[in-house]
Amino acid sequence: MASPVEQFAVKPIIPIQVGGVDISFTNSALFMTIAVGVSALFFWYGTRKRALVPSRWQSMNEVFYEFIANMIRDNVGKEGMKYFPFIFTLFMFVFLGNMLGLLPYSFTFTSHIAVTAALAVFIFIAVTIIGFARHGTHFLRMFFPHGAPIATAPILIPIELISYLSRPFSLSVRLFANMTVGHIMLKVLAGFVVALGVFGFIPLAVVFGVTLLEIGIAALQAYVFTILTCIYLNDAINMH
């Protein structure tokens, strides 16, 4: 039986070396490309008629659009709409990464800490720059809220600072861990189906249920990743 973590192996498909750095087109890159392709197809097919009364696919396009637009409006406000394209891209990328990963023989690029951390660190840096650009040094007020007694500063400031700095870690680890654990669990349970022979139907039923659960988690984690980005953006734009 193959190791349950073998599915996460990054295997080069087209080896590319640039200046001694390996940037091969891998299975991970293939599924990122597929995610972009699926998005392109989805939006192209959904908006090809642009009917006043939408077709099914156009409705789906509009549901995704409205979902993200409302998320930004509710969590960040009107000013956040500047970042709508980025948030929408982020959601589609993570959502499709999670969903495509559930297909048999596919690869889940969101189960790699390198990918989730890169996204999280980019968001963290961008949000911090937006915060300082909008509020200047006043943005440091984030770490010491108004109304708090000055005596609490030695405790409060380190706590706020740590909670702020831990954002990229929690954001990236949450997605990476959820995806990794889900896929390992499916692999192990699927292994039991074969190992138990006749009684394999029991883990099979469990695998069926867990697969449904994983579909839910895939959508939910994409949502959580996106909404946390919105909340961080809100902190930077409006300060809390």
Partner 1 sequence: MPQFDPTSFPSQLFWLVVTFVILYVLISRFAIPRIGDVMEQRQKMMDDDLDRAAQLKAEAETAVQTYEKALADARAKAHEVMKAATDEMSRKAEERNREVAGRLAQQIADGEARIGKARDEALASVREVATGAAQAIAVKLADVSLADDKVDAAVGAALQESR
Alpha-carbon gap, residue 82 to 125, rounded angstroms: 17
Name which of residues 101 to 120 contact partner 1 (CB under 8 A).
109, 111-115, 118-119
Which of 1, 5, 133, 188 lies at the binding interface for partner 1 (CB under 8 A)?
5
Q: Which is nearer to partner 1, 114 or 133 (CB)?
A: 114
DSSP class per residue in 104-134: TT---GGG-HHHHHHHHHHHHHHHHHHHHHH
Query: Least distance (Å) from partner 1 to the CB of residue 158?
Result: 29
Which of 72, 76, 80, 88 lies at the binding interface for partner 1 (CB under 8 A)?
88
Q: Give me the 172-211 binding string for partner 1, x by CB under 8 A, dash otherwise.
A: ----x---x-------------------------------
Alpha-carbon gap, residue 80 to 82, rounded angstroms: 5
Contacts of 107 (CB under 8 A, 6+ apart): 7, 27, 28, 30, 31, 101
Structure tokens at 216: 């839910």
Which of 9, 125, 133, 195 lies at the binding interface for partner 1 (CB under 8 A)?
9
DSSP class per residue in 17-32: EETTEE--EEHHHHHH
Which of 32, 99, 175, 222 lies at the binding interface for partner 1 (CB under 8 A)?
32
Query: Least distance (Å) from partner 1 to the CB of residue 64?
Result: 8
